[in-house]
Amino acid sequence: MFCWIKTKLDNSKFSCKMGNVSASAKSLQNSAATTPSGLPELSKDLEASSDTNKSQNDEDRGNPGTMEELHKKCKDVMPTNFEGAKFMIQKGISYHFQVTHTLNLCTSNSSGYRFGAIYVGTKQLSPSELYPVILGDIDPSGNVNANIIHQVTPKLRCKFASQIQNSKVTAAQLTTDYKGNDYTASLTVANPNVINESGVLVGHYLQAVSKNLALGAELAYQYGPAVPGGQMAIVSAAARYVNGLATWSGTAGVSGLHLCYYRKSSEQLQFGVEVDTNFRVQEAVGTLGYQIDLPKADVVFRGMIDTNWNVAAVMEKKLQPLNFTLALSGILNHTKNQFKLGVGLIIGG
């Protein structure tokens, strides 16, 4: 999955004042999830890219990765649910070029056809990493998602993401990550608007304190006429502790507390526990998720249960020897009496 596109403008933080941005950031995430999940070389690369950074300096503290990926391990075991019927054809045209055709049939407004294209450039940083990566998708009414990722130098990476809906730019953001030997500094500029002088700036700094422990801080700054007082800033702190197969990670700020625990129990089973509180809306959600890999059966199963009584699962099975993947998704809420089923077929990739 193209998780690396996850242009996460941290979720809950601005949720009241900044509903728009967080909503769009979220939909960017979704689009990232629904955009071509194939191009195996690519997705591996990007995972590898963070891994190489980690293993590179194994003897000393090593690069801690970016703040965006702080909770990644825990998040990755949670299922990504979808609804309705989904049919996707991934067509690798050449090593540098892939297109996707997606047909989504569901009750939400994301229903319909989407065309996606990915171009991978020729700048080679390692045998499996090629840059720039340019990907986008468009639907028949002209809504476009565009992403550009480029590793400018071995230490500096830029990511640009934007979303255009109904001929309006609903989200645009540029993230620059600088990876030092034992730290990562990032700056994100989101939705800058020179005309009505508004925008969001987010700065991240994550430092590896020891081989196991990384500490970081985040400063989010929002300005604009819609913000009370014209501007506001939120500071939060972050930490991650890796202990063998287990990883603890957490972020804490004035607006909320987010804790994650991840553990790889065996080759087949990984699980994650997450508690996310938002002081502003006085809400807390706890989630338990797990992932089961059955390589012999070509099955990946992800399930979760949370304190809102949601029970959800996604099963992905490769239909060997055909190059097809079947995905089944179900999400059930007992208190609201809601059930959503999704069936997907992915060809190629």
Residues in contact with other proteins by CB under 8 A are: 91, 93-97, 99, 101, 115, 117-119, 122, 134-138, 142, 144, 146, 162, 164, 167, 169, 194-195, 197
* Residue number, 144 or 315, with CB nearest to other proteins: 144
Q: Which residues pair with 69 in a beta bridge?
A: none
Nearest CA among 200, 204, 246, 158 for reference residue 66: 204
List Cα–Cα distances, 303 to 249, 274, 290, 318, in angstroms: 21, 13, 5, 18
Q: How far is the CB of 113 from other proteins (least distance, A)?
A: 12
The two structure tokens encoding residue 24: 């769009």
Q: How far is the CB of 79 from other proteins (least distance, A)?
A: 30
* Residue number, 95 or 339, with CB nearest to other proteins: 95
Q: How far is the CB of 29 from other proteins (least distance, A)?
A: 19
Tell me which H or E stretch contains 56: helix 40-56
Q: How far is the CB of 117 from other proteins (least distance, A)?
A: 4
Q: How far is the CB of 229 from other proteins (least distance, A)?
A: 16
Q: Which residues pair with 341 in a beta bridge?
A: 330
Residues in the chain: 349
Backbone φ, ψ for residue 21 (5° rounding) = -65, -45
* Residue number, 91 or 211, with CB nearest to other proteins: 91
- Cis preceding linkage at 132, omega within 30: yes
* Residue number, 213 or 345, with CB nearest to other proteins: 345
* Residue number, 146 or 213, with CB nearest to other proteins: 146
Backbone φ, ψ for residue 47 (5° rounding) = -70, -40
Q: Distance of alpha carbon 201 from its chain centroid, rounded?
A: 19
Strand pairing category for 213-223 and 324-333: unpaired
Q: How far is the CB of 174 from other proteins (least distance, A)?
A: 13
- Give the separation between CA 346 and CA 274, rounded to whole angstroms: 30
Q: How far is the CB of 115 from other proteins (least distance, A)?
A: 7
Burial of residue 186, with CB atoms counted within 10 A of its CB: 0-12 exposed, 13-18 middle, 19 or more buried: buried
Place of tokens 């294209």: 117
Radius of gyration of the chain (CA): 20
Q: How far is the CB of 347 from other proteins (least distance, A)?
A: 9
* Residue number, 117 or 219, with CB nearest to other proteins: 117
Other Cβ atoms within 10 Å of 327 Cβ, number: 19
* Residue number, 168 or 296, with CB nearest to other proteins: 168
Place of tokens 């998720």: 289
* Residue number, 164 or 343, with CB nearest to other proteins: 164
